[in-house]
Amino acid sequence: MSMSFALFAQRYQDADFGPIQYVILIIAWAVILVAVAGIWKMFRKAGEPGWASIVPIYNAIVLGRIAGLSGFMIFLMFIPCIAIIPVLMLNMKLAERFGKNAGFGVLAFFVPFICYPILGFGSAQYQGPLTTRAVLARRSGQPDFRNLP
């Protein structure tokens, strides 16, 4: 038994947002604002302009530059089914650039709206591109004094 649109519209004409939906909407907007502010701060820590974080395609390009991805990998981020791998790599490299481990990068892949504000507002400092020697020294726990000024 199918219901025509006219009967549906008559039956549900008073459908309206209730108080629960407004609370959910306010919480969603708060999460979005905190995430945008965190990404803005993260861009500023990396030496990029903060406004670049709110321009849709440009922010992905700048984020790829901050993480040190090649131009080809940044291009692959815009191809729908293939984009999972470059975005995962982006988050892992971004975590390394801010002094976090790969696990934080994987977590950022799944919940960037939580992890990016942690990088932006937290004590993590942008370390720039790391040499292979510096990465190996950091993983082994031994300091690399060759990169000091």
d(CA 75, CA 59): 13
Looking up tokens 């934080």 gives 104
d(CA 127, CA 107): 20
pLDDT (0 to 100) of residue 114: 94
123 pLDDT more than 60: yes
The answer to whether 115 and 90 are in contact (CB under 8 A) is no
Evaluate whether residue 135 is within a structural domain. yes
* Cα angle: 29, vertex 33, 37; to 5 degrees: 170
Tokens of 92: 């892992």
**pTM, whole model, 2 decimals?**
0.73
Summarize pLDDT for 6-39 with one digit per residue, the tens: 665 565 555 567 788 889 999 999 999 999 999 9
Evaluate whether residue 39 is within a structural domain. yes
What's the total number of domains in the chain?
1
d(CA 66, CA 59): 10
Evaluate whether residue 74 is within a structural domain. yes
pLDDT (0 to 100) of residue 129: 75
Domain span at residue 34 reads 7-147
55 residue type, one letter? V
Evaluate whether residue 2 is within a structural domain. no
Evaluate whether residue 52 is within a structural domain. yes
CA 126 distance to own-chain centroid: 15
Q: Could you tell me which residues come within 8 angstroms of residue 16 by beta carbon, excluding any fewer than 6 positions away?
A: none
